């Protein structure tokens, strides 16, 4: 079977609601005939206007984070059901910025992955090594550990529907993109691990993105690697460039 490519934007903490709607409207014609699945993951406050602006188009709206509890006294957090109610289809979980600045652990990511699936949301599960870890030669071991914990108690059906984003931390927002060989090596190792955990069918179905300074100039080379099924795009997803990345071929 062939996997459908998935290109997702991660707006991070950019664009107020008024600009969000305007930008989505600008993007609609630029990605209308895309072969790949197109997702824009936007700040929580942008979700409602972005969903409204994307109506009738092939752009799906995702969230950048969520909490794992159903509801209650968790000031400032957003529940899975709230995202679903607002029209969200995907949610980024375990982004390295959340791990670094908001103390998210692998165990929290696992709880969030379980909550996402319980509510019919597709998680985009992030993993990635620091430059120091790469230099120490422990990249694959580190990524395997992150993925093993993220997928604890996740069923094979759920695992097959998941999206994994391999994002080397040293390549995020730095303009220092991984070589296609480096990205392919790790994405292949992730697919191999999914095979060990769930068998060959799930390994064949799960989609694995590369993220880290993806731009129109490097997308084709990265996305043509056999184990890379698209990208998670930060900076370049804030500009019409995103349309070019979606048409990477
Ligand atoms: C990201 O934050 O997920 C990302 C990959 O950012 P950038 O494309 O800007 O490196």
pLDDT tens per residue across span 53-104: 999 999 999 999 999 999 999 999 999 999 999 999 999 999 999 999 999 9
Task: Tell me the pLDDT of the chain averaged across its residues.
Answer: 97
The answer, yes or no, to whether residue 47 has pLDDT greater than 70, is: yes
Tokens of residue 84, six digits:
């679903």
How many degrees, rounded to 5, is the angle at CA 227 between CA 221 and CA 228?
50
Q: Is 180 left (phi over 0), alpha (psi -120 to 50) or beta?
A: alpha
Task: Please tell me the predicted confidence (pLDDT) of residue 1.
Answer: 57
Query: Does ligand 1 lie within 6 Å of residue 173's CB atom?
Result: yes
Mean pLDDT of 152-169: 98
Residues 6+ apart with CB under 8 A from 36: 4, 5, 6, 7, 230, 246, 248
Let me know how long the chain is.
Answer: 249
**140 CA from centroid of ligand 1 (Å):** 20
Does the predicted TM-score (pTM) go above 0.75? yes
| Ligand 1 pocket mutation pick from 98, 127, 172, 217 by most atoms within 8 angstroms of CB | 172
Is the pLDDT at 202 greater than 80? The verdict is yes
CA of 220 to the centre of ligand 1 (A): 17
Place of tokens 């994405």: 187
Task: Please work out whether the CB of residue 232 comes within 6 Å of at least one atom of ligand 1.
Answer: yes
Instruction: Based on the residue annotation, tell me whether 95 is a catalytic residue of this protein.
Output: yes
Share of the chain above pLDDT 90, in %: 98
């Amino acid at each position: 079977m062939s996997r459908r490519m998935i290109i997702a934007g991660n707006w991070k903490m950019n664009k107020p609601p008024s600009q969000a709607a305007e930008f989505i409207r600008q993007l609609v014609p630029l990605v209308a005939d895309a072969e790949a699945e197109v997702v824009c993951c936007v700040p929580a406050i942008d979700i409602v206007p972005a969903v409204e602006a994307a109506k009738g188009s092939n752009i799906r709206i995702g969230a950048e984070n969520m909490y794992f509890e159903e509801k209650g006294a968790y000031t400032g957090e957003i529940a899975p059901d709230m995202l679903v109610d607002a029209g969200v289809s995907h949610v980024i979980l375990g982004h390295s910025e959340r791990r670094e600045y908001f103390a998210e652990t692998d165990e929290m990511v696992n709880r969030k992955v379980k909550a996402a699936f319980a509510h019919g949301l597709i998680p985009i599960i992030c993993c990635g090594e620091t430059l120091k870890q790469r230099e120490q030669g422990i990249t694959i071991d580190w990524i395997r550990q992150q993925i093993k914990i993220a997928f604890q108690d996740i069923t094979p059906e759920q695992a097959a529907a998941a999206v994994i984003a391999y994002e080397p931390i040293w390549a995020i927002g730095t303009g220092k993109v991984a070589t296609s060989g480096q990205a392919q090596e790790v994405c292949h190792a992730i697919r191999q691990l999914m095979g060990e955990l769930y068998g060959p069918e799930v390994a064949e179905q799960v989609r694995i993105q590369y993220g880290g300074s993806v731009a129109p100039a490097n997308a084709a080379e990265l996305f043509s690697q056999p184990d890379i099924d698209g990208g998670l795009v930060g900076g370049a997803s804030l500009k019409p460039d995103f349309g070019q990345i979606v048409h990477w071929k």
